[in-house]
Chains A and B, each alone.
Chain A
Amino acid sequence: MSDTSLAPVRRAMPGHAACVSPPPGRWRLSTGRYSLLVERRALVVGLLLLAALVAASLAYLALGSERLALGGVVRALAGEGDPIALFLIHELRLPRLAAAWLTGAAFALAGCLMQTLARNRLATPGIIGIDNGATAFAVASVVGLGVSLAPPAMALAGGATAAAITFGLASGGDTRGYRFIVAGIGIGAVFGAVTQLLLARVDIDTANAAYPWTVGSLNARSGNAVAVLATGFAAGLPLALVLARSLTLMRFSDAVSRGLGVRLKRRRWQVLTLSVLITALAVAVAGPVGMVGLIGPEIARSLSSPRGVPLLASALAGALVMVLADLAGRLLLAPIELPVGLVTAVVGGPWLLWILIRPACRSAS
C-alpha cells in the first residue's frame, strides 16, 4: 500500500519483533504490540504534495485584488501587522482557503474511493451524476421548495438518490467499462435539468443566489456548510485510511479479493456510503466541482507506487488543485471572478479527453 498502512504485523517469533526486517522500500515504526509500515515513496510524495500545498496556500493568501507581501501574510497569520491586512487574511481569504482545502480534498478522496469501488478510472462522483443529484436537492432547499432541510442534509439525500439510481441501473452490477459511465452521465443530465427547472421556477433574486451552485464556486459558501464538511471530512478520512487495506485488495477480481479475506459486500457498502457522504457535504459547500475528483486521484496515482490506493495523496493533490484553480479564477480576469468549477472544467476537460482517446488506452481501472 502506498499510504501508511495501519496493518498490524504479526510478530514472527514472540519477543523477537525487532529481528523481522520490513519489506524493501518501507520503514517500520513499532510500538509495543503493533507496528506501522510506512512506504518510503508514499511518505516522500505526501511531503512533496504538502509542501506544494503550503506554497500554493501562501500565494493564495498573498495575491488578489489587494496584494500583500509574503512577510505581511506571515505577520498577519501570527496576528500582527496593519488592520487591513489582518482583515483581509482572517476575515476574507483564510476562510475561503480553508473551504478550498476541504472541498478539494473531499472531492478527490471521494473520487479515489469510488474509482476503486467501481474498478473504473472514470467513475468519479462528478462524472456519474452524484454531484448533480446532490446539487439538485441542495438547490431545492435553497430556493425553498419541498422539504425544508438544510442544504447539506438535502445534498446528502440527493447524492444518495443519484448513487442508488446509477449503481442500481448498472446492469448485473457491472461497473467496469464505458456503459456504466454513459448511463451515469445520462442520470447526471436528468438531475442537471431538474436543477435548471428549480431555478427557473423562482424569482430572479433567489435564482441568482442559487446560480453558483450550478457551476461550482467558493464564493457563495455558507460557514455552516463548511463546518459540517470539516466534521464529516475529519471523520471520513480516518475511516477511509482504515478501509485502504481492503481497497487495495478490492482492485482485483471478486474471487481473488474474497479469497484474500475481504468481506466484499460489506466493504462495498462502506466505501460507497463514505464516498457519497463526503461528496455530498463538499457539494453543499461549493457546488459541483466534479473535475477535481478526477484530476486529484490522477495526479496522486501518477506519483505514487501502483501497489496501493493512494487515498492520502489524492486528498492532498485535490486540495492543491482546488487552491490553484480558485486562485486562477480570482486572478485571471481580475475584476470579474471566474467560478472555480469553470476553471477546473477547462483544465480537466482536455485531460479527460486524453484519457478517453489515448490510442493505447484500454478499458478503465
Chain B
Amino acid sequence: MVDIVAARHSPRRPAGRVRAMLVLVLLVALAALASLLLGAGEVGPERALAALAGHGDAEARFVVASLRGPRTLVGMAVGLALGVAGALLQAVSRNPLAEPGLLGVSAGAAFAVAVALWLGASAATLRIAVAQVGALAGCLAVLAVVRVRGMGRDPVRLVLAGAAFSALLGSLTSLLLLFDQRSADEIRFWVVGSLAGRRLDDLLAVLPSLAVALTITVLVARPLAALALGERVASGLGHRPGRVRLLVIVVVALLVGAATAIAGPIAFVGLVVPFAARALAGPDIRRTLWLCLPLGPLMVLVADVISRLVVAPSELPIGVLTALVGAPVLVAVVRARRLPTL
C-alpha cells in the first residue's frame, strides 16, 4: 500500500519534496554557522566571522578552528546518527514511541562504557566498541521484551518498561561512578550528555561505523518499507523479515553506540526527529529516513547552540534542552486518542 500511495503522490509532489529538503539543508547550514559564531566564551560573532573569513586574531581563529568547528561537526554526526536510529527502531518495533534514549539503548551504551572504565580501560577507540556492544545488548533487550505476551501490541507499555530499564541502568552507572573516583573524573562530564570539548579525533574514530551503518540502512530501507505491510506480505515480496530485523538492530546499535560514545546519552532526539519527519513526509520509511538526515543535525545543533548561550559563561548539558523539547512531544503523542501505528 505504501508503494501505491507513493506511486500516486510522487509524480505530483517531487518538486515539493525537493524544496522541503533544500529548505532543511539550508537551515542546517544556518545552524552550523550559528554554532561557529556563537559561544559562551569571549569570542563574539564579529571576531568569529573575521576568523572564518581568514583574517582575525589568533585567539578567534583558534576558538573557531579547534573548538567550535569540531564541535559543530560532532554535533551534526550525533544528530544524524540518533535521528536515523530512532526512525529505524520505530519502524522495526512498529512503535512510534520507540526511542533509543527512552528504551534503554543509550543507557545500555553508557553503562557498558562505565563498566569498561571501571575495569580499567581508557582508550577512546575501545570506548566506541564497548558502547556499541552495550547498545546492541540494550536493543536485544528491547526486542526480547516486545516478544513478551501483550507487550508488542501495547506501544505505551513498552515505553514504560523501557523508561524503567533506562532509569535502572542510569542509577547503576551513577553507582559505579561513586564507587570509582578515577573513572568518575574521567566521564562525569560525559555521562550527562554534552558536546563540549569534543575533538576532531573523536569524530574520525566513529566515522567508519557511521559509514557502515548508513550503507546497511540504504540496503535495508526497501525491505523495511515492505515489512511495514506485515510479515507475510514482505515474505511474499521476496524479503526475509528475520534477517531485515537483525540488520536493522545492528545498525541501530552501531549508530546509537557511536553517538553515545562521543556525546554521552542524549534522549528524545530519536523521538522528535522521526516524529517531525513523519509529519512532513508521511508514513513511508524511506522518505522518513531521507528527512531524518537534515532534521537530526538541525535539532542537535540548535540545542547545542542554545545550551551554550542560556547559562553563559557555563554550559548546560544538551540532554536538558532535548528533554525540554522532547518530553512535551512524548506527552502529545501519548495523549492522542489513537496512537499512530507503524
- Enumerate chain A residues within 8 angstroms of B335, measured Cβ to Cβ: 169, 171, 179, 183
Whether the Cβ atoms of B161 and A356 lie closer than 8 Å is: yes
- Enumerate chain A residues within 8 angstroms of B330, measured Cβ to Cβ: 182-183, 185-186, 189
Min Cβ gap A364→B in Å is 10
- Enumerate chain B residues within 8 angstroms of A338, measured Cβ to Cβ: 175, 178
Instruction: Considering the complex, give the chain A residue whose CB is closest to the CB of B322.
Output: A193
User: A6 in the interface, Cβ–Cβ < 8 Å?
Assistant: no
**How distant is the Cα of A213 from the Cα of B262 in the complex, in angstroms?**
28
- Enumerate chain B residues within 8 angstroms of A192, measured Cβ to Cβ: 323
**Which of A179, A181, A333 has the most chain B CB within a 10 Å cutoff?**
A179
Mark each residue of chain A from 313 to 337: 1 if its CB lies under 8 Å from any CB of chain B, else 0.
0000000000000000000010010
Segment at the interface with B among A37-45, A66-74, A194-202, A223-231 = A194-202
**Which of B151, B167, B311, B324 has the most chain A CB within a 10 Å cutoff?**
B167
Neighbour of B164 across the interface among A189, A194, A349, CB < 8 A: A349
- Enumerate chain B residues within 8 angstroms of A189, measured Cβ to Cβ: 267, 323, 326-327, 330
- Enumerate chain B residues within 8 angstroms of A169, measured Cβ to Cβ: 331, 335
- Enumerate chain B residues within 8 angstroms of A350, measured Cβ to Cβ: 168
With A189-B327, A333-B178, A356-B160 as known contacts, state yes or no: A171 contacts B337, CB within 8 Å: yes
Segment at the interface with A among B209-217, B224-232, B252-260, B313-321 = B313-321
- Enumerate chain A residues within 8 angstroms of B221, measured Cβ to Cβ: none
User: A352 in the interface, Cβ–Cβ < 8 Å?
Assistant: yes
User: A12 in the interface, Cβ–Cβ < 8 Å?
Assistant: no
**How distant is the Cα of A333 from the Cα of B151 in the complex, in angstroms?**
38
Whether the Cβ atoms of B167 and A193 lie closer than 8 Å is: no
**How distant is the Cα of A187 from the Cα of B97 in the complex, in angstroms?**
16
User: B156 in the interface, Cβ–Cβ < 8 Å?
Assistant: yes
Neighbour of A187 across the interface among B168, B175, B310, B331, CB < 8 A: B331
Neighbour of A197 across the interface among B97, B151, B320, B334, CB < 8 A: B320
Whether the Cβ atoms of A196 and B317 lie closer than 8 Å is: yes
**How distant is the Cα of A356 from the Cα of B160 in the complex, in angstroms?**
8
- Enumerate chain B residues within 8 angstroms of A359, measured Cβ to Cβ: 148-150
- Enumerate chain B residues within 8 angstroms of A183, measured Cβ to Cβ: 330-331, 334-335
With A338-B178, A349-B168 as known contacts, state yes or no: A197 contacts B311, CB within 8 Å: yes
Whether the Cβ atoms of B174 and A342 lie closer than 8 Å is: yes
Mark each residue of chain B from 149 to 183: 1 if its CB lies under 8 Å from any CB of chain A, else 0.
11100101101110111011001101100110000
**Which of A183, A186, A187 has the most chain B CB within a 10 Å cutoff?**
A186
Instruction: Considering the complex, give the chain B residue whose CB is closest to the CB of A191.
Output: B327
User: B145 in the interface, Cβ–Cβ < 8 Å?
Assistant: yes
- Enumerate chain A residues within 8 angstroms of B267, measured Cβ to Cβ: 189
Neighbour of B171 across the interface among A187, A342, A353, CB < 8 A: A342
Whether the Cβ atoms of B175 and A197 lie closer than 8 Å is: no
User: A346 in the interface, Cβ–Cβ < 8 Å?
Assistant: yes
**Which of B149, B160, B174, B267 has the most chain A CB within a 10 Å cutoff?**
B160
Whether the Cβ atoms of B148 and A357 lie closer than 8 Å is: yes
User: B44 in the interface, Cβ–Cβ < 8 Å?
Assistant: no
**Which of B157, B165, B316 has the most chain A CB within a 10 Å cutoff?**
B157
With A178-B157, A183-B331, A356-B161 as known contacts, state yes or no: A196 contacts B179, CB within 8 Å: no
Whether the Cβ atoms of A353 and B168 lie closer than 8 Å is: yes
- Enumerate chain B residues within 8 angstroms of A349, measured Cβ to Cβ: 164-165, 167-168, 171
Whether the Cβ atoms of B178 and A187 lie closer than 8 Å is: no
**How distant is the Cα of A346 from the Cα of B170 in the complex, in angstroms?**
9
User: B328 in the interface, Cβ–Cβ < 8 Å?
Assistant: yes
Whether the Cβ atoms of B327 and A345 lie closer than 8 Å is: no
With A181-B160, A333-B179, A336-B178 as known contacts, state yes or no: A196 contacts B320, CB within 8 Å: yes
Whether the Cβ atoms of A357 and B145 lie closer than 8 Å is: yes
User: A190 in the interface, Cβ–Cβ < 8 Å?
Assistant: yes
With A186-B328, A200-B311, A357-B145 as known contacts, state yes or no: A193 contacts B323, CB within 8 Å: yes
With A122-B160, A353-B161, A353-B164 as known contacts, state yes or no: A186 contacts B171, CB within 8 Å: no
Neighbour of A356 across the interface among B97, B157, B328, CB < 8 A: B157
Instruction: Considering the complex, give the chain B residue whose CB is closest to the CB of A351.
Output: B164
Min Cβ gap A120→B in Å is 11
- Enumerate chain A residues within 8 angstroms of B323, measured Cβ to Cβ: 189-190, 192-193
Whether the Cβ atoms of B327 and A190 lie closer than 8 Å is: yes
User: A215 in the interface, Cβ–Cβ < 8 Å?
Assistant: yes
Min Cβ gap A344→B in Å is 9
Instruction: Considering the complex, give the chain A residue whose CB is closest to the CB of B156.
Output: A178
Min Cβ gap B164→A in Å is 5
Whether the Cβ atoms of B327 and A182 lie closer than 8 Å is: no
Whether the Cβ atoms of B160 and A178 lie closer than 8 Å is: yes
Instruction: Considering the complex, give the chain A residue whose CB is closest to the CB of B267.
Output: A189
Whether the Cβ atoms of B163 and A345 lie closer than 8 Å is: no
- Enumerate chain A residues within 8 angstroms of B179, measured Cβ to Cβ: 333, 336
- Enumerate chain A residues within 8 angstroms of B326, measured Cβ to Cβ: 189
Instruction: Considering the complex, give the chain B residue whose CB is closest to the CB of A358.
Output: B148
Q: Which of A206-249 contact B (CB under 8 A)?
A: 215
- Enumerate chain B residues within 8 angstroms of A353, measured Cβ to Cβ: 161, 164-165, 168
Query: Which 8 interchain pairs have the tightest Cβ spacing?
Result: A349-B168, A345-B171, A193-B323, A189-B327, A186-B331, A186-B330, A186-B327, A178-B156
* Further 10 A-B residue pairs, CB within 8 A, beyond A186-B331, A349-B171: A182-B163, A189-B327, A190-B328, A192-B323, A196-B320, A200-B311, A215-B174, A342-B178, A357-B151, A359-B149
What are 6 A-B contacts defined by CB distance under 8 Å?
A177-B156, A182-B160, A182-B163, A185-B163, A193-B320, A356-B160
